[in-house]
Chain A
Amino acid sequence: MAEQCRQISTTARPAKGRLARIIAAIHSDEGAAAIPFMIALPIFITIVGIFVQYALLINAKVMVQQAADLAARAAATSLPDEHPENVLKAARMSLAMLSPQSSQTNPEGSAVYEALVRSNADPVPPTFAQRYTYAMDATKVSWTHQNASFVDHKGQLIDVTVEYKFYLTVPGAMRLLSGPRSPAFQGTVGGVSGRFYTITATSQVQTSHGRKTGTDGAGWPG
């Protein structure tokens, strides 16, 4: 086919004006490489996108694990001292920076944002309150012996589990993560619609002794 074209171009009479230039351009092989490039580019971008999405997922996994560790540390002292809300809050604060902005702002998010700004803690983006609001809806924290009272029990080993709905941001790549067995799903979380990937991390911790632990006659926890 290319040979035939070359023959036509060499045997045909040269045309005049604009038409002649167009015919010449068609007959020319300059830029022919751009066509396969254009075909390959989306595939390439998709591959890079998948790579980026996986990298973001790995990063999210690391941060959810960190959130689980922080929640576990909070649980170690907050559960026996009767402040279980701290466990959830520790995870949310940790995951706020990973979260997209919610369309709403929860007062808790605003309070935490204000506290962080006033304490000059870490660099806090102005969108922190909205991100925290998303994290409030996206984060679930649970621990073993959840119904037990820690204040009147000696220290015990517990597993603190953080479940976080990670927002998938790379178009196309997120579809590839979906599947019947995948923890990815489509829906709305914290006012943000799109695809999400549920990440779970667990951290084990020994709680402090409860101050009100009952004792036997010898003074040891009964």
Chain B
Amino acid sequence: MSRLFQRSILRLHRNDSGNIGILLLLTIWALVAMIGMVWNAAEFATRKQHAQLAVDSSAHSAIEWSSRTTNLISASNMLIGENASAESILRAIPPTINGLTSRLNREIQDINRLLGQSQQTQTQNQNNPNPIDPGAEARLSLLLRVLPQLLAELKTEQALAQPFILTGSAGLSITPATELARRRGEIFEYQQEIVALTPGVIEEQRAPLEKFYKCDLTFANPGDVNAVSGQSDRFSPPVKEVNQVNVEGVQMPGTAIPDPDDGDVWVNGGTWGWINDPPLRRFLVDRTWRDQKGLEALLKPVDDERREFSQWVEQLLRIPPNAWGPSTDPTIIQAITNGFNSAADQVRRMHLVEPFAIDLWHNSVWSALDAMLRELGNTPQIAFVTYDRYPVPEWAKAGMYQDAYNYVYNDVYGRNHNRLWWRRYHEVLNQLLKQKVPQGQAVPQARAKADEFATRIATAGAIIIATDAATQWINRTWPYEMEPPQSPMPPAVGPKKEDRIQYLTLVGAAKTTDDTKVRITLPRLFNAAPDKPMVVFAQAENFNWMEFNGSYGAGDRYDRHDPPAPWRVSTIGGWNWQSRLSLSDAIGPALENNPQLRSFFDDAGVRYDPEVIDEITLH
């Protein structure tokens, strides 16, 4: 052995041929290995980037369809709202025209009758040889002087009301309300079609994207626990069809308050908490308020005329400077003064100068709107997917109770106080007058007693009713668009994480194919497994910036008597749904629920472990 070794060494010494060859071989081998290493690193990076690009763009594009559908539903809901607003206004026109004409006609009739009576009395007085009561004469003279002017004024008002009557009537003849209702039905059918088509559009888009990127693609809905293996998940937009959404109010007939003089005095209650047609309410109410302003402007001249008239009618009703003539008798002066005052009061009681046209219009519009809301609430419509009835959150109960209490209290007090005041005032006044108490003393006494009585009874009744109503208010379920946050706003503003994952999120995965797989050079040297495909994933979501806008989501108050009205698919704010890539916090549920997504990971040899998934999910 040692001889053989010695000979080999000696041969090396003697023979120097091939030395360079060995070095060259070593060098070439090192070169190839180095090039291979750099190639592999670049190849791996490039392929991964390509697959990531494929899944990012396809997930983004898929969720974009969902955003578009949601915006389309919101826009078409607004169209339904505009249509319903137009119908409410059309419905409000006839009662307004009737109210307007009948009131002006009635006032004209009243004045004509009074004027006729006054003229008749004047004729009788002229034929009466006996001396006439100076007070009655003063009264008559004032009426005969003022009433013709009032009559002329009312005819002016009738003329001023004509533009409203003509425009309103024209509007009614152009578009009948039934036609508007029919069109709303058509829009709803269109909405149903759009919602039904969306998952198919996303699915149809997958094939061309796969072809373009030369990667297998799948989309999964993390919230869909019924996903079917072998099919890409059908991702639906975050909307649903609802029906019969009107919420009955709390009915409080009233309460009896014991009074030492009257026994039990009844304080009227009412109904609180009616919510008609919640999904469209917010937009429809706003829209109707804006739309009615056009016709409101036509009624403004009528009210302005009456306001202006009120300035100088009081001057007409004043006692003229020469009313007493040459008389210095205080009895006569008093009689004349009483006569003038009596005539003036009679004219004032006719409320001829009180503006009423716009109020009449508003009442008609709100009444028609209320009917419209109720009608829409009984017909199917598209609402946000989470729309439902939820209990009032604990943290909001105290605030809502107080707010509801104040609201009901003020309402009950306001409506009953006036009624009770007048009732007690007349009772006391009549009683005092019967007791021959001079009117000058009786009136203040009656006023004081009426004040005390009305305040005491109305307060006691309002407290009972408000307490009862507010208690029911916080213990009932309310129609909220989202489940109310369990901690005070604003930290919990926007959909909860669970809702976001369930309804607004899509997880996509891309798997490399033979065309795009990583081609490792010297796989044995670099311990690589080139046969397995590479899988990458991305998460995308539908979101709305208005969640953090004070006029929409960020302005929602759950601790008020009027809970936040839905806006996400029925207002301008709900027309701002956007798509975005998001941090993949739903990859776990998506893998659990979707067999096809899981198969992508299985093919790549990646095992799903829920306990560690977040540790390595970095985008």
Contact = CB atoms under 8 A, between A and B. Distances in A.
Interface residues of A, number: 55
Interface stretch (B19-27, B110-118, B209-217, B429-437): B19-27
Nearest to A67: B45
Given A93-B618, A211-B494, A52 B19 contact: no
A215 B575 CA distance: 13
Given A78-B619, A120-B606, A213-B545, A62 B580 contact: no
B526 to A, nearest CB: 10
- Residue among B12, B528, B606, B612 with the highest chain A CB neighbour number at 10 A: B612
A65 B19 CA distance: 40
Interface in B554-591: 572-573, 575-576, 578, 580-585
A137 B10 CA distance: 53
A30 B529 CA distance: 51
A67 to B, nearest CB: 9
Interface in B22-73: 23, 26-27, 30-31, 34-35, 37-38, 41-42, 44-45, 48-49, 52, 56
B52 A73 contact: yes
B426 to A, nearest CB: 53
B193 interface: no
A57 B27 CA distance: 18
Given A123-B527, A221-B545, A77 B582 contact: yes
Given A215-B548, A221-B545, A51 B619 contact: no
A112 interface: yes
A116 B607 CA distance: 9
A30 B13 contact: yes
B545 A118 contact: no
Contacts of B581: 76-77, 208
B605 interface: yes
Interface string A184-217: 0000000000000000000000001101111101
Nearest to A114: B612
B366 interface: no
Contacts, number: 148
Contacts of B547: 211-212
B616 interface: yes
Contact of B14 (A30, A77, A121): A30
A219 B573 contact: yes
A69 B41 contact: no
A59 interface: yes
Nearest to A94: B45
A215 B543 contact: no
A74 B583 CA distance: 8
B45 A66 contact: yes
B520 to A, nearest CB: 12
B346 interface: no
A34 B34 contact: no
A138 interface: no
Interface in B586-616: 605-609, 611-613, 615-616
B95 to A, nearest CB: 35
A44 B23 CA distance: 9
A33 interface: yes
A204 B133 CA distance: 102
Contact of A215 (B23, B42, B546, B585): B546
B551 interface: yes
A123 B12 CA distance: 44
A119 B612 contact: yes
B418 interface: no
A212 B49 CA distance: 29
A26 interface: no
Given A120-B605, A120-B606, A215-B549, A51 B615 contact: no
B52 A211 contact: no
Contact of B616 (A48, A52, A77, A116): A116
B616 A115 contact: yes
A55 interface: yes
Contact of A59 (B41, B572, B606, B612): B41
A74 B12 CA distance: 59
A157 interface: no
A159 interface: no
Contacts of B584: 77
B45 A65 contact: yes
B580 A209 contact: yes
Given A37-B19, A89-B618, 14 more contacts: A48-B30, A52-B34, A76-B619, A78-B583, A80-B580, A81-B585, A123-B527, A155-B580, A209-B580, A211-B494, A211-B543, A212-B547, A219-B546, A219-B572
14 contacts: A31-B12, A31-B14, A59-B41, A62-B42, A62-B45, A66-B41, A66-B44, A69-B45, A78-B618, A152-B548, A212-B547, A212-B548, A213-B545, A215-B546
Interface of B: 10, 12-14, 16, 19, 23, 26-27, 30-31, 34-35, 37-38, 41-42, 44-45, 48-49, 52, 56, 494, 527-529, 539, 543, 545-549, 551, 572-573, 575-576, 578, 580-585, 605-609, 611-613, 615-616, 618-619
